Chains A and B, each alone.
Chain A
Amino acid sequence: MSYPAATIMFLALLGFVIVLGFIAGRWKAGDMNSIEEWGLGGRRFGTWVSWFLLGGDLYTAYTFIAIPALMFGAGAIGFFAVPYTVVIYPILYLVFPRLWRVARKHGYITGPEFLRGRYGNRWLALAVGVTGIVATMPYIALQLIGMQTVIGALGLPGHLPLVIAFAVLGAFTFTSGLRAPAMISIVKDLLIYLTVIVAVIVIPAQLGGFAAMFGKIPPVKLLLAVPEAGSGGAYSGYATLALGSAMALFLYPHSMTGILSASSPRVIRRNAALLPAYSVMLGLLALMGFMALAAGVKTMPEFKAGFAHYGPSFAVPALILHSFPGWFAGVAFGAIAIGALVPAAIMAIAAANIFTRDICAQFIAAAVPGREALIAKCFAIFMVVGAVAFILVIPNTYAVQLQLLGGMWIIQTFPAIAFSVYTRFFNGWALLVGWAVGIGCATWLVALNHFAGAVYPFHMLGYTLPSYIALATVLLNAAVAAGLSVVLNAVAPDVAGDETAAGDYA
């Protein structure tokens, strides 16, 4: 099948944001040879730009495809995305205005840099930085998969459109830095809101209303299974997935970059109350998985090839093609594709900031102010090229599995980052050991699940508590770090290495 009206609309929108990406460098122009300007937008974004940027950064194309796909395939469990994106905001409010202050005061542009300043320990910073870069790579690859799905749904040939889109992405990221995704995210977010609002008005009406739609969902998918006696069952699985995912989210380098680019802590605190608008949108979007189920797109002959190729990920594209006129399907697909470019650009920039400040300058060659931005720009290109190569060479299922592991790994930096803005009780080396224990246990447990499941049934005192592996292992990590800190603080305190003062945080 080919969809000419949808394809033209799609390509026009993509072309428009690409031009925007190149123009963005001149917006509130700064010196692009400074890494704070290129990689952090000069810490200049106010409440609304930050709202769009973080919205575009955190609610990605992959989310838009994967969450409804999970609802479509597995049912109610997929709705964990909603409590997950409720719980992130108290965490944002409590931790990140403090991190912003200390980062601004000392010129830190990454999380690991803060840890190096706080503990005088470049190995801890290296561990956290490498975790961030490694977790980011499959995340970028997943954005490409999201884009690939809509390109495939339009019937466009092969990998070429994807490679072109990401080549251009690399180019405007190089020239415009963080300003490019900031500007593009405004277009992306408006298109996504438009798509979701139209979808929840038009599609349920076609299906006979929300009651009729929910009526067509099989009971096993409509609610979580009630746990049997002696087990937390699906309940603890659901709650720990939401909580653990929320604790991990802001530790990703791209989230941190988005937050640190705000112009003040007040901008961050305001956004903790304003960003939930995206979570409402995500909840409605998740329901598109049920709409696809109720509409019965899976058995329609025109979508047979698509489902065979992409699996449940094809549910939303198929629903969009089935329910909307061609031109509007083009708008919706454009929104998803642009929704891939925005976070992918920020991820590449964030990883580049870490590479430059926490790996290159510390372990390879001392920083030369003029060269710093150039190193970062080149590493950003490397991240984009690497992600494209990843998708072209390695089966997509590996990217999904690596992303699953990435979440388990990145959460292990929670004790170091989140606790350290409040207390200097911990010892840098203890945090490093806790991190290593957490990474090791999480990887081992995921391997026991054959790299397919995020939830592991823990048995304690005759009770079974299925829990998101990331959450269980980060608790262990924090316990190890705390216990070891008590010992190390007594025999070999590292408090002297702290270059920050209490007043830098509040």
Chain B
Amino acid sequence: MIKLLLLPVLAMALCVPFFNRVSPVLFGFPLFYWYQIVAVPAGALLIFIVYLVEERGRGDEA
């Protein structure tokens, strides 16, 4: 079930109409650019959470 957390990763990356705009600007980057760059570590974090939860349930096997 924890794997459902992977869905927002897809949604976040593919909701183009939501992020195709200039403002708010961050450190000189239009939203379009900073949002998509920030989506990378955000996605990685969600995957890491899924990994940690599954790892806990899995025990010791390699």
Contact = CB atoms under 8 A, between A and B. Distances in A.
B21 A280 contact: no
A214 B47 contact: no
Contacts of B40: 82, 85-86, 276, 279-280, 283
B32 A273 contact: no
From B14, B16, B32, B50, residue with most partner A Cβ within 10 Å: B16
Interface stretch (A22-30, A238-246, A350-358, A444-452): A238-246
B28 A93 contact: no
Contacts of A284: 37
Interface in A250-305: 263-266, 269-270, 272-274, 276-277, 279-280, 283-284, 287
A207 B9 CA distance: 34
Interface in A217-234: 222-224, 226
Contacts of A213: 28
Contact of B14 (A76, A214, A239): A239
Contacts of B16: 224, 235-236, 238-239
A163 B60 CA distance: 49
Chain B: number of interface residues, binned into ranges: 20 to 34
Contacts of A283: 33, 36-37, 40
B1 interface: no
Contacts, number: 108
Contact of A226 (B9, B12, B20, B41): B20
Interface in A55-91: 76, 79, 82-83, 85-87, 89-90
From A87, A226, A287, residue with most partner B Cβ within 10 Å: A87
Nearest to A269: B51
A71 B51 CA distance: 34
Contacts of A361: none
Interface of A: 76, 79, 82-83, 85-87, 89-90, 93-94, 209-214, 222-224, 226, 235-236, 238-239, 242-243, 263-266, 269-270, 272-274, 276-277, 279-280, 283-284, 287
Interface of B: 3, 6, 9-10, 12-14, 16-17, 20-22, 25, 27-30, 32-33, 36-37, 39-41, 43-45, 47-48, 50-51, 54-55, 62
